[in-house]
Structure 1
Amino acid sequence: MAKNAKAESENQTFTARQAEAQDEPAPVGDVNRNGLWRTWIRGRARKLSHSTQFVIAAAVILGLTMFFVGNLVSVRIESAAVHSAAEAGAQYMDTFLEPFVQELSQDNTLSAASIQSLDRLTESRSLKQHIVSIKIWRADGTVVYSTNKDITNVQFPLDEITEALKGKVVTDLQELTQDENVFERQLNVPLYEIYAPLRDSRSGKIIAVGEFYEKADSLRREINRVREEVWGVVGAATLAMLTLLFFIVRRGDKIIQQQQVALHLRLIEQTRLHISNAELQHKMATATQEFSRVNELTLRRIGADLHDGPAQLLTLILIRLDDVAENCTAVDQESLETIRAAATDALREVRDLSRGLALPEINDVSLVEELQLVAQRHEQRTGTKVTLTLGQLPKAAPLPLKLCLYRFVQEALNNAYRHANGEGQVILAKYIDGVLNISVRDSGPGMAADAMQLEKSGRTRLGLAGLRYRVESLGGLFSIDSCDTGTSVNAQFKL
Structure 2
Amino acid sequence: GEIIGAIETLEDITERKKAEDNLRYYLQEITRAQEEERKRIARELHDDAAQVLGSISRQLDNFIRKKQGFAPNEVLFLKDLQVQLNRGLQSMHRFCQALRPSLLDDLGLIPALRSLAKGLQESDGIATDLKVLGGERRFSPEVESLLFRIVQEALNNIGRHAQASEAQVVMEFAEDRIKVSISDNGRGFELSGRVDDLPRSGKLGLAGIQERARLLGGTIEVKSTLGKGTALIVEVPT
TM-score by length of 2: 0.70
Cα contact 1:468–1:478 (8 A) shared by 2: no
Alpha-carbon spacing, 1:480–1:402, altered in 2? closer, same or farther (3 Å): farther
Distance apart, 1:348 and its partner CA: 0.7
Cα contact 1:438–1:492 (8 A) shared by 2: yes
Cα contact 1:288–1:474 (8 A) shared by 2: no
Is 1:268 paired with 2:7? yes
Whole-angstrom CA distance in 1 between matches of 2:223 and 2:142: 22
Distance apart, 1:409 and its partner CA: 1.9
Whole-angstrom CA distance in 2 between matches of 1:361 and 1:430: 20
Is 1:308 paired with 2:51? no
Cα contact 1:318–1:343 (8 A) shared by 2: yes
Distance apart, 1:291 and its partner CA: 1.8
Alpha-carbon spacing, 1:493–1:483, altered in 2? closer, same or farther (3 Å): farther
Q: 1:354 aligns with which of 81, 90, 96?
A: 96
Corresponding position of 1:484: 227
Q: 2:86 aligns with which of 341, 344, 360?
A: 344
Q: How does 1:234-253 map to 2 (within 5 A)?
A: none
Corresponding position of 2:35: 296
Whole-angstrom CA distance in 2 between matches of 1:317 and 1:407: 33
> Helix, strand or coil for the counterpart of 2:208?
helix
Is 1:370 paired with 2:113? no
Whole-angstrom CA distance in 2 between matches of 1:464 and 1:321: 44
Distance apart, 1:406 and its partner CA: 1.7
Provide Cα deviations, 1:1-53, integer angstroms capped at 9, x if missing partner: xxxxxxxxxxxxxxxxxxxxxxxxxxxxxxxxxxxxxxxxxxxxxxxxxxxxx
Cα contact 2:128–2:169 (8 A) shared by 1: no
> Helix, strand or coil for the counterpart of 2:187?
coil
Distance apart, 1:360 and its partner CA: 4.6
Provide Cα deviations, 1:51-101, integer angstroms capped at 9, x if missing partner: xxxxxxxxxxxxxxxxxxxxxxxxxxxxxxxxxxxxxxxxxxxxxxxxxxx
Distance apart, 1:489 and its partner CA: 2.7
Q: Read off the aligned partner of 1:467 and give its amino acid letter.
A: I
Whole-angstrom CA distance in 1 between matches of 2:52 and 2:80: 18
Whole-angstrom CA distance in 1 between matches of 2:207 and 2:78: 40
Cα contact 1:471–1:477 (8 A) shared by 2: yes
Identity %: 21
Distance apart, 1:347 and its partner CA: 0.6
Alpha-carbon spacing, 1:274–1:440, altered in 2? closer, same or farther (3 Å): same
Is 1:446 paired with 2:187? yes
Q: Read off the aligned partner of 2:97 and give its amino acid letter.
A: R
Whole-angstrom CA distance in 2 between matches of 1:356 and 1:490: 22
Q: How does 1:86-235 map to 2 (within 5 A)?
A: none
Is there any run of 5+ residues in structure 2 with no aligned partner, and where? 192-197
Distance apart, 1:436 and its partner CA: 4.4
Distance apart, 1:395 and its partner CA: 5.5
Distance apart, 1:415 and its partner CA: 4.3
Distance apart, 1:447 and its partner CA: 4.3
Cα contact 1:429–1:439 (8 A) shared by 2: yes
Whole-angstrom CA distance in 2 between matches of 1:414 and 1:321: 35
Whole-angstrom CA distance in 2 between matches of 1:419 and 1:285: 30
Whole-angstrom CA distance in 1 between matches of 2:136 and 2:18: 28
Is 1:405 paired with 2:147? yes
Corresponding position of 1:127: none
Distance apart, 1:418 and its partner CA: 5.8
Cα contact 2:164–2:187 (8 A) shared by 1: no
Whichever of the two has the greater Rg, that structure is 1
Corresponding position of 1:204: none
Q: Read off the aligned partner of 1:378 and give its amino acid letter.
A: L
Whole-angstrom CA distance in 2 between matches of 1:467 and 1:380: 21
Whole-angstrom CA distance in 1 between matches of 2:207 and 2:147: 15
Corresponding position of 1:93: none
Distance apart, 1:289 and its partner CA: 1.9
Distance apart, 1:270 and its partner CA: 2.8
TM-score by length of 1: 0.38
Alpha-carbon spacing, 1:310–1:487, altered in 2? closer, same or farther (3 Å): farther
Of structures 1 and 2, the one with the larger relative CO (CA 8 A, separation 6+) is 2
Is there any run of 5+ residues in structure 1 with no aligned partner, and where? 1-261, 455-459
Cα contact 1:374–1:410 (8 A) shared by 2: no
Alpha-carbon spacing, 1:359–1:341, altered in 2? closer, same or farther (3 Å): closer
Corresponding position of 1:282: 21
Q: Read off the aligned partner of 2:29 and give its amino acid letter.
A: E
Cα contact 2:220–2:232 (8 A) shared by 1: no
Distance apart, 1:412 and its partner CA: 2.7
Q: Read off the aligned partner of 2:229 and give its amino acid letter.
A: G
Alpha-carbon spacing, 1:482–1:470, altered in 2? closer, same or farther (3 Å): farther
